[in-house]
A and B are shown apart, each in its own frame.
Chain A
Amino acid sequence: MDKSQLMFWFLSALAVFSSLMVITRKNPVYSVLFLIITFFAISGHYVLMNAQFLAIVNIIVYAGAIMVLFLFVLMLMNLNKESEQQKNKYLLWSGAIAGGMLMVIMIAALNTTEPAVVNQPGAGDIGLIKNLGTKLFTEYVVPFEISSILFLSAMVGAVVLGKKGD
């Protein structure tokens, strides 16, 4: 086992463990904090694949902004006490069955695909910011611009919704 393999197993174990904690904690604030740890573990995976830009943007956007907003909302709603009401038993079962079926489908789909050629850790350099920028603004410039327009419209929509009251 070499360095990157050791890192891979550590990060994977951390990611799986903390995502399990996200869905099993009663206190939603703990869930959010464990979700942040999950994001860090995933960023670690990106770094292992030499995609540093993606790693750091993942932290800035998800851990730094979106999770702060999540925490913000949870604190305002004050779900501190375990005020979760008793769930319907049928709802619980139907949720478990639906989720289980999704898992079966995904396993089946992954089972029949061709095994992908996986890059050796640290081998590819497409994730470095210079190459990524060049690719985005030459080969993928149209999808890139379209997605930025999508973001713009989402932003305008958020502002319009926010101003509805006045």
Chain B
Amino acid sequence: MISTLLAMQMDWALVLEKFLLIVVVVSVSLGFAMYSTYAERKVAAALQDRSGPNRFGWFGLLQPVADAIKLFSKEDIIPNKANKVLFVMGPGLAMLAALMTSAVIPWGDKIVLGGREISLQIADLNIGMLYVFAVVALGVYGVMIGGWSSNNKFSLLAAIRGASQNISYELAMGLSLIALLFVTGSLSLKDIVVGQQTNGWNILYQPLGFLIFIVCAFAECNRTPFDLPEAENELNFGYHQEYSSMKLGFYLFAEYINMFISSVIMATLYFGGYDIPFFNEAASSLHPNILALMGFGALMAKTVFFVFVFMWVRWTIPRFRYDQLMNLGWKSLIPLALFNMLITGAVVLYLQNGWPKF
């Protein structure tokens, strides 16, 4: 077995490089999500004219650590009537689906270390956008399995709500992505970012598509105003009602990771990714490592802005009713996305071939 593995003559440096990159990306996502919980409380506090967490650490900066310790040290309860295997699997699946998307995101341009060029992207798939879409589609299993295996009617209702909501909004999201695909002409996220560096950001060409995408992203992340799977006033606590301790923590954490990843995706698809605004990367004489770091900084700045928008909306807009949610998804967003697709397709065809001659 060992000899087989050695005989494969893999590029071990490449394997090591990708492994390190995965570790870094996952820890950055986790760290970001951790401080999103702090940021959410602070933003909520600012919007409601309170001061928010300010006891533990400077300005309450250690609050997420305290929360983590609290969640870890709580008693881990598995209900008697629950399906134990699936009950434990649920939060794991939610976390897995949340973290998997980060594999195709270009976090920056390449850096040079000891004469070796390292691309800051785990995998540059030529179907990157579809991969993102597939992982989003899988995200619903965590909610469904967790909700069903709890053997609780509120959890089950929440799971079914979550599933139908995700399926409904995936359609409009996919249609808005198709319109974006007409503009970029590539499914690889790297190509999309490179194209935006030369042609300008996609938001200029696809404002309506972006609007549809962001609404769908809110619904897919189960964030207010679409947080019906965890509507407290109707369903107690939704699909994670029976969960406690770190399993509950995983569900809550997966939501923040989803928020972070969808912000990165929005920044990458519509706002130039790691492109630094009003700055020509190709013509600058800076060292590539510094450029890559600056690009990463630009991507993070855009991401932080979108995460802020997520929180801003949460504390501003009240929750929809369930039929309103479905009406918005099926009767407004999908026709709008189809219309956007039609217009984009017509304009792209016109620009390529000119007016049709009969």
A and B interact physically: yes
Contacts of A1 in B (CB 8 A): 4
* B-contacting 9-mer, from A50-58, A83-91, A101-109, A146-154: A50-58
Q: Closest B-chain residue to A27, C-beta based?
A: B83
A83 CB to nearest chain B CB (Å): 15
Contacts of A21 in B (CB 8 A): none
Give the size of the chain A interface in residues (CB under 8 angstroms).
25
Flag whether B308 is at the interface (Cβ < 8 A): no
Contact between chains at A64 and B137 (CB < 8 Å)? yes
Flag whether B187 is at the interface (Cβ < 8 A): yes
A80–B81 alpha-carbon span in the complex (Å): 11
A62 CB to nearest chain B CB (Å): 10
Flag whether B87 is at the interface (Cβ < 8 A): no
A3–B6 alpha-carbon span in the complex (Å): 11
Contact between chains at A129 and B187 (CB < 8 Å)? yes
A129–B159 alpha-carbon span in the complex (Å): 35
Given contacts A3-B8, A71-B144, contact A60 B130 (CB under 8 A): yes
Pick the most buried of B83, B138, B164: most chain A CB atoms within 10 A of its CB: B138
Contact between chains at B164 and A59 (CB < 8 Å)? no
Contacts of A80 in B (CB 8 A): 83, 151
B222 CB to nearest chain A CB (Å): 15
Given contacts A3-B8, A56-B130, contact A76 B160 (CB under 8 A): yes
Of the residues B4, B126, B170, contact of A128 by C-beta under 8 Å:
B126
Contact between chains at A65 and B167 (CB < 8 Å)? yes
A81 CB to nearest chain B CB (Å): 11
Contact between chains at A56 and B131 (CB < 8 Å)? yes
Given contacts A52-B127, A68-B140, A68-B144, contact A75 B134 (CB under 8 A): no
A3–B15 alpha-carbon span in the complex (Å): 14
Given contacts A68-B167, A71-B144, A71-B163, contact A63 B138 (CB under 8 A): yes
Flag whether B133 is at the interface (Cβ < 8 A): yes
Contacts of A10 in B (CB 8 A): none
Interface residues on B, range: 20 to 34
Contact between chains at B126 and A65 (CB < 8 Å)? no
Fill in one digit per residue for A14-58: 1 if any B CB lies within 8 Å of its CB, else 0.
Answer: 000000000000000100010010000000000000001100110
Please classify the interface of chain A as helix (H, G, I), strand (E, B), loop, or mixed, using the class held by over half of its residues: helix
Flag whether A6 is at the interface (Cβ < 8 A): yes
- B138-176 CB contacts (< 8 Å) to partner A: 138, 140-141, 144-145, 148, 151, 156, 159-160, 163-164, 166-167, 170
Given contacts A56-B131, A128-B126, contact A72 B138 (CB under 8 A): no
Flag whether A166 is at the interface (Cβ < 8 A): no
Flag whether A2 is at the interface (Cβ < 8 A): yes
Contact between chains at B130 and A75 (CB < 8 Å)? no
A145 CB to nearest chain B CB (Å): 16
A127–B260 alpha-carbon span in the complex (Å): 32
Contacts of A33 in B (CB 8 A): 86, 145
Q: Which residues of B contact A (CB under 8 A)?
A: 4, 7-8, 10, 83, 86, 125-127, 130-131, 133-134, 137-138, 140-141, 144-145, 148, 151, 156, 159-160, 163-164, 166-167, 170, 187
Q: 13 new A-B pairs (CB below 8 Å) besides A33-B86, A72-B160, A75-B159?
A: A2-B7, A29-B83, A36-B141, A56-B131, A59-B134, A59-B138, A60-B133, A60-B137, A65-B137, A68-B140, A71-B148, A72-B163, A75-B160
Can you list 17 A-B contacts with CB-CB less than 8 angstroms, sorted by A residue number? Answer: A6-B4, A52-B127, A56-B127, A56-B130, A56-B131, A60-B133, A60-B137, A64-B170, A65-B167, A68-B140, A68-B163, A71-B163, A75-B144, A75-B148, A129-B126, A129-B127, A129-B187
